[in-house]
Amino acid sequence: MSLVDHPVEPIQNSNDAQAGSTSQYFSRRELLGAGVTLAVGGALAAGLRAWHGHEAGMRADVFIGKATSYNDSLTRIIRDGLASIGVSDAELRGKRVLLKPNLVETARGEAHINTNPTMIVAATQVFRDAGAAEIFVAEGQGHRRDSILVLEESGMDSALQDARLDFVDLNHDECFKTSNAGRWSKLESLYLPASLLQVDFIVSMPKLKTHHWAGVTCAMKNLFGVMPGVVYGWPKNVLHYAGISESILDINATVQPHLAIVDAIVAMEGDGPIMGTPKQLGAIIMGRNLPAVDATCVRLMGLNPSGVTYLPLASGKLGPIREQNITQRGERIASLQSRFKLIDAPHLRNLAGA
């Protein structure tokens, strides 16, 4: 079942409400009062057992492309990646495509924090060449509320102008209510931006980084940015209270993204997702199944996928995590693998393989 098949209840934005629309606008306070439960989920133990459970019949292809810098032929690498995982031009022709980068925070000269704009431009060119009808970039950054400032400081604004790409601020988009298809957390419903209903193909385009709470932030965690800040706050505090790992899984199960293209050319290690240091990995990772992509990225980082709490929860449910159930395309993991530094924290010791 795709997102558009879920029962939805439209919610218009405050501008429409002020203009006299008969549709009801819900403020964040009203949404919480209407029954959005804030409780830390208790599914972690069951999810960890799933790591040792069944992935029978689950397989996924993941492509690893080598890119030593952002001046490499990224369009060629992305095009090769799509072909290797079975995404054809025919599948993309006439489709409306949403590219979801990671723009969590900006600081001038700190390009390793966010998805590099050249990745967005290269992916756009590939999708246009394949005959996509419309492509736009959308994000609901988790920290700063000023989206224009984030776009300018990240360099994304000029890149989007040059590539003739529109940007949608998902933090302030119109919203709709839909059932939580995951139910790892106790959130019965999710409020999502209406733009997700207007596209055919959703692409998660994260920056590969360590994360001081989740351990790693990649294709699955990147979908936190589709959750509207006007509902969930900054930095999406409602989801933090509901459980980061559980919320990651709920969002992925409900939104069901179609593809991941991971910017790991220059990644981040240490105190991520903002305060870490640059880590040259020289890779672009792609796949249709986001748990398999994330597990592959963790292995490229020289870390243990079972130590990323949301991956054992996803195992056997949202996708294959075990290496034997993932067919690697392109470069071998061993050829690009490089150990990432982590902060010294008890909850990350299993990720480090300790």
Residue 326 main-chain phi, psi, to 5 deg: -120, 120
The number of C-alpha atoms within 13 Å of 132 and in the hemisphere containing its C-beta is 21
Q: What is the DSSP letter of 340?
A: P
Report CA-CA distances (Å) from 161 to 96, 106, 157: 19, 19, 6
Q: What is the DSSP letter of 172?
A: G
N-term to C-term CA, the chain: 39
Pairing of strands 60-66, 277-287: antiparallel
Closest CA to 316 of 58, 62, 60: 58
Residue 174 main-chain phi, psi, to 5 deg: -60, 150
Report CA-CA distances (Å) from 344 to 63, 309, 351: 31, 17, 11
| pLDDT, tens digit only, all 354 positions of the chain | 456 455 555 554 433 332 332 233 344 334 333 433 322 233 333 433 444 447 888 999 999 999 999 999 999 999 999 999 999 999 999 999 999 999 976 666 677 889 999 999 999 999 999 999 999 999 998 766 677 787 888 778 999 999 999 999 999 999 999 999 999 999 999 999 999 999 999 999 999 999 999 999 999 999 999 999 999 998 899 999 999 999 999 999 999 999 999 999 999 999 988 889 999 999 999 999 999 999 999 999 999 999 999 999 999 999 999 999 999 999 999 999 999 999 999 999 999 985
Residue 71 main-chain phi, psi, to 5 deg: -90, -5
Query: Side chain identity at 150, as an amino acid letter?
Result: V
DSSP 306-319: GGSTHHHHHBTTTB
Strand partners, 8: 178
Contact 263, 77 (CB under 8 A): no
The predicted pLDDT at position 26 comes to: 40
3-348 folds as Rossmann fold (3.40.50)
Contact 87, 287 (CB under 8 A): no
